[in-house]
Amino acid sequence: MTVHFPFQNSYSALPDSFFARVAPTPVAAPRLIKLNRPLAVQLGLDPDLLETPEGAEILAGKTVPDGADPIAMAYAGHQFGQFVPQLGDGRAILLGEVIDRDGVRRDIQLKGSGPTPFSRRGDGRAALGPVLREYIVSEAMYALGIPTTRSLAAVVTGEHVIRETALPGAVLTRVASSHIRVGTFQFFAVRRDTDAIRRLADHVIARHYPELSGTERPYHALLAGVVARQAELVARWLLVGFIHGVMNTDNSSISGETIDYGPCAFMDAYNPAQVFSSIDEMGRYAYANQPRIALWNLTRLAECLLPLFGEEQDKAVEQAQELLGVFPETFSKAYQAGLRKKVGLFTERDGDEALIQDLLDAMAKNQADFTLTFRRLGDAAGDPAADDARAEFMDPAAFDEWARRWRGRLAAEPQSAAERQTAMNAVNPIFIPRNHRVEAVIQAAVNDDNYAPFEELVTVLAKPFEDQPDYAAYADPPLPDQRVLQTFCGT
């Protein structure tokens, strides 16, 4: 039996300027490290066959499956605010698209599968560490209910990649509802190719915003749609303490999924100014800056769409500004609603926002762990005697004072303590991919070829809202000497 991929490709049917046709470069000795079996089934693939040597060869790019139409996608992008007119898939190849069990079109892409015409000075490869990191964090995001690309598989190539040292090479199979980015539009905008922008916009509408096709002003509606999805996405990030780390326009997805997990990280202690990425020296992509940056990226998208907004450019600019102007409110609504749930409020009242902000301020001042504070707050809601939350604060009295006001507010709602705790536990995870855990997993894999810690971490993170007593230690923040201060792109 050979592995069958039910490909139904649409992007590779777009004009030639949208991509370069290029096959993956075969690797020496592919070995499957991890297959995401439930995702394989969801995509209509046979997980048993993918686990055979032939399957590993496909997932490593050594064999191209029937029906694939391998391409590297063209895109441009603003990297840390600097425009680069040509980036493109320099180390990723889109094998093709499948329609999943829910009828959703999904890209199947190999990342780290060899050079392409967009590789510039890069080798087209990926190191094992960043591949495992993306696997862990993207699947954790999925389990947290946050729109994201998925990870279908990780393979080691049997070859080394040269970074600062020689490292084991690997390939990640990434699944996305598409890999179209703000930078994809920028690629054509900078070339003044309005026909291509229209083709791309039509493709995006049909694929991601089908409800907009046939409406009166579909391109305006498209911008509004992307604005809404990005605003909601970034709110979701903030609500779990996620820092993307490289919110360049080429890493900003049109479908509203989290994409391109490089130096991303979850914060331990709450700090709005937190930055982990070693290359983000100015803190452009700091935790609390993310909404502002998302809007900046969307403004770049709006500029690309202006030619589709009509002949009169002054009017087009005005319309774009109006559509972008909705972002702060959409973001704020999603963020505040999420925060209310995190502190266990079922209703909305004047003063809630200030109450919650006071908690966040106290957390920042007292270096309280973001994840555990909210999770323990759920325990405190369930049982007034449970006082673990206060231990997260350097000065526990700061929590006590806030908690008195909070209990006063909760008393105005009819829900029982148990009901409230259940609701809070469903939005406040206990397990997140903590940096020190991710690092430890990578070290074991890279140095000792030991994947047991990786497997265990992935297992725990698949159920982030469930207390898992056997794995309780995974909830713990790092000890001072375990703290990870910086994360790296590792490209």
* Segment near Mg ion (CB under 5 A); pick from 43-51, 94-102, 248-256, 340-348: 248-256
Q: How far is CA 315 from the centre of its chain?
A: 35
Is residue 122 close enough to count as binding ligand AMP by CB under 6 A?
Answer: yes
Q: How many CA atoms lie within 13 A of 374 on its CB side?
A: 30
Residue 348 gets the label, from left (phi > 0), alpha (psi -120 to 50) or beta, of beta
- How far is it, in rounded angstroms, from Cα 413 to Cα 416? 9
- How far is it, in rounded angstroms, from Cα 258 to Cα 280? 19
* Segment near ligand AMP (CB under 6 A); pick from 89-97, 202-210, 354-362, 415-423: 89-97
Cβ proximity to ligand AMP, 9 vs 184, nearer residue: 184
Q: How many CA atoms lie within 13 A of 242 on its CB side?
A: 29
Cβ proximity to ligand AMP, 262 vs 477, nearer residue: 262
- How far is it, in rounded angstroms, from Cα 442 to Cα 103? 35
Cβ proximity to Mg ion, 181 vs 437, nearer residue: 181
> Contact with ligand AMP (CB under 6 A): which of 251, 290, 297, 487?
251
Residue with the CB atom nearest Mg ion in the bound state: 260
Q: Show the binding pattern over residues 250-269: x = contacts Mg ion (CB under 5 A), - = does not.
A: -x--------x---------
Query: In the bound complex, what is the minimum distance in angstroms from residue 297's beta carbon to ligand AMP?
Result: 13
Binding to ligand AMP, residues 262-281 (CB under 6 A): 262
- How far is it, in rounded angstroms, from Cα 432 to Cα 374? 13
Is residue 260 close enough to count as binding ligand AMP by CB under 6 A?
Answer: yes
Binding to Mg ion, residues 302-321 (CB under 5 A): none
Is residue 74 close enough to count as binding ligand AMP by CB under 6 A?
Answer: no
Residue 38: exposed, middle, or buried by beta-carbon count in 10 A (0-12, 13-18, 19+)? exposed
Tell me the two tokens of residue 210.
């089908």
Is residue 125 close enough to count as binding ligand AMP by CB under 6 A?
Answer: yes
DSSP-H helix ranges across 306-369:
313-324, 327-342, 352-365
Question: Which of the following is catalytic: 250, 260, 280, 369?
Answer: 250
Is residue 81 close enough to count as binding ligand AMP by CB under 6 A?
Answer: no
Cβ proximity to ligand AMP, 124 vs 307, nearer residue: 124
Cβ proximity to ligand AMP, 251 vs 258, nearer residue: 251
DSSP string, 245-261: S---GGG-BSSS-B---
Is residue 378 close enough to count as binding ligand AMP by CB under 6 A?
Answer: no
Is residue 91 close enough to count as binding ligand AMP by CB under 6 A?
Answer: yes
Is residue 89 close enough to count as binding ligand AMP by CB under 6 A?
Answer: yes
- How far is it, in rounded angstroms, from Cα 381 to Cα 128? 42
Q: Show the binding pattern over residues 205-244: x = contacts ligand AMP (CB under 6 A), - = does not.
A: ----------------------------------------
Is 97 in contact with 6 (CB distance < 8 Å)?
no
Is residue 123 close enough to count as binding ligand AMP by CB under 6 A?
Answer: yes
How many residues lie near ligand AMP (CB under 6 A)?
18
Is residue 159 close enough to count as binding ligand AMP by CB under 6 A?
Answer: no
Name which of 263, 238, 199 is nearest 489 in CA terms. 263
Neighbours of 121 (CB within 10 A): 5
Residue 38 interaction partner, one of Mg ion, ligand AMP, none, beta carbon < 5-8 Å per kind: none
Is residue 232 close enough to count as binding Mg ion by CB under 5 A?
Answer: no
Is residue 25 close enough to count as binding ligand AMP by CB under 6 A?
Answer: no
Is residue 85 close enough to count as binding ligand AMP by CB under 6 A?
Answer: no
Q: How many CA atoms lie within 13 A of 180 on its CB side?
A: 27
DSSP assignment letter at 415: -
> Contact with ligand AMP (CB under 6 A): which of 88, 114, 168, 241?
88
Is residue 323 close enough to count as binding ligand AMP by CB under 6 A?
Answer: no
Residue 181 interaction partner, one of Mg ion, ligand AMP, none, beta carbon < 5-8 Å per kind: none
Helix (H, G, I), strand (E, B) or coil at 367: coil
- How far is it, in rounded angstroms, from Cα 487 to Cα 389? 28
* Segment near ligand AMP (CB under 6 A); pick from 118-126, 132-140, 276-284, 367-375: 118-126
Active-site residue flag, 250:
yes
Tell me the two tokens of residue 220.
């305006």
Query: In the bound complex, what is the minimum distance in angstroms from residue 260's beta carbon to ligand AMP?
Result: 5
- How far is it, in rounded angstroms, from Cα 120 to Cα 182? 20
How many residues lie near Mg ion (CB under 5 A)?
2
* Segment near Mg ion (CB under 5 A); pick from 36-44, 120-128, 245-253, 322-330: 245-253
DSSP-H helix ranges across 99-217:
128-143, 182-189, 194-208
Tell me the two tokens of residue 73.
């996608």
- How far is it, in rounded angstroms, from Cα 41 to Cα 309? 41
Helix (H, G, I), strand (E, B) or coil at 408: helix
Residue 212 interaction partner, one of ligand AMP, Mg ion, none, beta carbon < 5-8 Å per kind: none
Name which of 209, 207, 124 is nearest 169 in CA terms. 124
Residues that bind Mg ion (CB under 5 A): 251, 260
Which residues are part of the catalytic machinery?
250
Residues that bind ligand AMP (CB under 6 A): 87-91, 118-119, 122-125, 246, 250-251, 260, 262, 489, 491
